[in-house]
Amino acid sequence: MRHLFLCQLCMAGVCAVILGIHSQAIAQNQVPNQDVDNQTSLVLLNFPKDVELSVLVEYVSQRLGINFIYDEQLANKRLTIKAPQQVPSTSLLGLLESALHIKGFTLVESAEPGFMRIAPTAEMTVVTKLTDDDGKAPAEGTTVAVTQVATLKHADAKLVEASLKPYLSKPGGNIFSLPDQDILIISDMAMNVRRIMQMIKLLDQPTPERQIEVYTLTHAQSKELAQKVKQIMQLKDRTRSRRGSSSSQTVECVSDDRTNQIMVVGTPDQLNDVKALIKSLDIPIPENQNPVRFYKLLHRAAEDVLATLKNIQGDEGLETTTIQNLFDNNSPEPQSYDQQQTQAPEPDTSEPTAQNNDATNPNPTPASEEAMIAAKRPPSRQPQPNLSKFQQSPTVKPKVARVAADIHTNSIVVVAKPPVQQIYAALIQELDQRRPQVLLEATVVTLDTSDNFSLGVEISVDGSADNGKIVSFSSFGLSTIDATTGAVTPSASTGFNFALFNADVADVVIKALKRTGRAKVASAPKILVNDNESGKLASNAQEPYESVNASDTVATTSFGGFVEAGTTISLTPHISNGDYLQLEYSIELSSFTGERIGNLPPPRQQNTIESKVTVPDGQTIVLGGLKRTDFRKTITRIPILGEIPILEHLFSSQLDETSEGTLFVFIKASILRDDAFEDLKHLSEYDVEKSEQPRDYPDSQPVWMN
């Protein structure tokens, strides 16, 4: 057994020797032939496939005479090098550095002089050596990992750090900053550090000097435009800035509402961009986008249109204001377009009012009285509406629009978004239509018939008795009688007069008169009225009367006023479809029927016709036919004698009065629709000729032609 053990031990030793010799041969075969071209210093690398990394390290060490320190982590690291052509020997160290980097290793200068260390890439920041020259990139040909310190002069260290991190080697490359000292510390391969230092040189540039510019706006509002410019410039800087968004380089805009100016702080390039932006934005608002519009009315009164807009939605939830604060910043702004989609326009109004100037009027008109006098003020002739010249007028501030009526320029002012403006424009256009007119001719005819008969007898008797004289007579105003002598003097008057003078019997005077009268009074006034409007004609005589104010001590007489009598005609036409019109009329005829008594007004007779009818265009309707008959019989007589049949006529005076009055009214209505008023000119031509008034156009005269 012992002999057998010694044999086995000998065989193992022999095998070990053989394997050692074989391994040495293999190692010598893996090292490439060092065929060197002494003239060009080129080497041919003919490594086998999957050569161990340690073999490459050994080859470079022998070829370049460099001492390497590495541990067992490098074992079993294999790679393939394909180099069919010769390469310079100076590139061998770079080739080794690249191969090590592929396998997660890097070359660093060792602490021991004359040696280079092969360390894992993850430990690069710990084992690399700091370069001697601050701020200078590693020299060309340096292939080891290094740590470089760079000092910035202009750029922000944090921003530069964030910009360079994507360009570091992974893994192993590292960069961090000291913002307080504007220092960057970079650990990476020397080749990559050189590239990063070039990038730092490009980024560390001086910042352009910031300047201040003031821009005066013509059309836009400074506050709104300043916000828009700032937002746009911030977005633009984020996309083109080489250092990202920085508050130090952000454009600052400040608005001055008093002068409507914008103060801008920025670099020259930024100011040029802002100037171009302001020029493109500070333009007049297109008419279809203007939130403030003035609607000049041609045919309707502004307060009437405003009242109609009020009735569309009613008064609920609306606030009344005046046109001076229509554009007040404290007023609620119209809602956005998105909010408008769920709401209909809610226009509203109040009755038109006007404001008195307290500076010139020590007793300002109360608000309740302003509404009563607003409609009486004459409209001013201003060619275009001007907010600074508006007097106080009715406005409202609804949810999506504010509407005002200016009675001086007969305009409607609407403040609303463009979509809402379209609704108001359509409403106002439809309301501001020229209405057709109606020419009304009212012919009033009054027929009066009167029959009067009067008969009177006067007798005078002269006698004596017992030294005295007796005179007896009757008097009814037919003659003049001397009361002393009884002599009768007849009074000459209209009618039959008979007188008998006989001193022995009696003096007798007889008068008889029959009077018959026929009277026709006709008037034909004309009046031109707009459709659905009222017209009135009045022709009245006025009689003054007195008023007596009595007290316990004294009675005073003063002027009491006037009582009127005459003709008053009120007409209101309503045009229907088919050239028919509904006519509301009221006709009043009054006259004084006697003399006034004392301080009282004279008696008055009044006739009134009032109704609603439908008549065709151009036709005449007959109204009235009101007939009134008055009969009056007056007898003045001597008692007893004047009551005896047959003899009663000798001792009385009798007056019989009979009168009849008939009223007729003829109304003719003609609708006038022509826009050029040619129909009105045609109907007025006859009256112009009859009145002998000059025409609006010259008369044609014959002219000799040669």
Chain centroid offset of residue 375 CA: 24
Residues in Cβ contact with 95 at an 8 Å cutoff, skipping those fewer than 6 apart: 56, 60, 81, 87
Tell me what pLDDT residue 335 has.
41
Extended strands (E) in 467-531:
469-473, 479-481, 488-490, 496-501, 507-523, 526-530
501 beta partners: 507
Q: Which two tokens stand for residue 97?
A: 């550095």
**Tokens 């805009």 correspond to what residue?**
253
Give how far Cα 187 sits from Cα of 108, 124, 158, 164, Å. Answer: 11, 7, 17, 12
Spell out the domains of the chain, with CATH numbers in brackets. 40-123 (3.55.50.30), 211-239+250-284 (3.30.1370.120), 437-672 (no CATH)
Tell me what pLDDT residue 138 has.
56
Q: Which two tokens stand for residue 218?
A: 């013509």
Longest dimension (CA), the chain: 233
Tell me what pLDDT residue 296 has.
92
626 beta partners: 663
Pairing of strands 394-396, 401-406: antiparallel
**Tokens 């390290």 correspond to what residue?**
57
The three-state DSSP-derived secondary structure of 408-476 is CCCEEEEEECHHHHHHHHHHHHHHCCCCCEEEEEEEEEEEEEEEEEEEEEEEEEEEECCCCEEEEECCC
SS3 (DSSP) at 155: coil
**Measured between alpha carbons, how far is 427 from 482 in angstroms, rounded to an integer?**
90
| Phi, psi for residue 662 in degrees, rounded to 5 | -125, 135
Residue whose C-alpha is closest to residue 572's, from 583, 563, 562: 583
Is the Cβ–Cβ distance between 424 and 345 less than 8 Å? Answer: yes
SS3 (DSSP) at 591: strand
Chain centroid offset of residue 521 CA: 59
**Measured between alpha carbons, how far is 58 from 67 in angstroms, rounded to an integer?**
9
Give how far Cα 627 sits from Cα of 142, 174, 633, 664, Å. Answer: 137, 124, 20, 9
70 beta partners: none
**Measured between alpha carbons, how far is 63 from 84 in angstroms, rounded to an integer?**
19
Find out whether the peptide bond into 694 is cis, omega within 30 degrees of 0.
no
Helix (H) or strand (E) holding 177: strand 174-178
SS3 (DSSP) at 562: strand
Residue 366: how many other CB atoms lie within 10 Å: 10
Tell me what pLDDT residue 410 has.
92
**Measured between alpha carbons, how far is 316 from 320 in angstroms, rounded to an integer?**
11
Q: Is the dihedral of CA 354, 355, 356, 362 positive or negative?
A: positive
Chain centroid offset of residue 474 CA: 94
**Measured between alpha carbons, how far is 326 from 314 in angstroms, rounded to an integer?**
20
Of all residues in the chain, what percent are helix, strand and coil, respectively (each to 5)?
A: 30, 35, 35
Helix (H) or strand (E) holding 587: strand 580-592
Identity (one letter) of the amino acid at 233?
A: M
Residue whose C-alpha is closest to residue 79's, from 45, 104, 102, 57: 102
Identity (one letter) of the amino acid at 19?
A: L
Rounded to a whole number of angstroms, the CA Rg of the chain reads 63
Give every residue of the chain whose pLDDT is below 70, as ranges. 1-40, 124-143, 240-249, 313-399, 453, 455, 457-479, 481-514, 517, 519-522, 626, 641-642, 647, 649-650, 691-701, 706
Is the Cβ–Cβ distance between 88 and 41 less than 8 Å? Answer: yes
Helix (H) or strand (E) holding 554: none
Tell me what pLDDT residue 216 has.
92
**Measured between alpha carbons, how far is 258 from 306 in angstroms, rounded to an integer?**
34
Tell me what pLDDT residue 519 has.
66
Q: Which two tokens stand for residue 188?
A: 């990476």
Tell me what pLDDT residue 372 has.
34
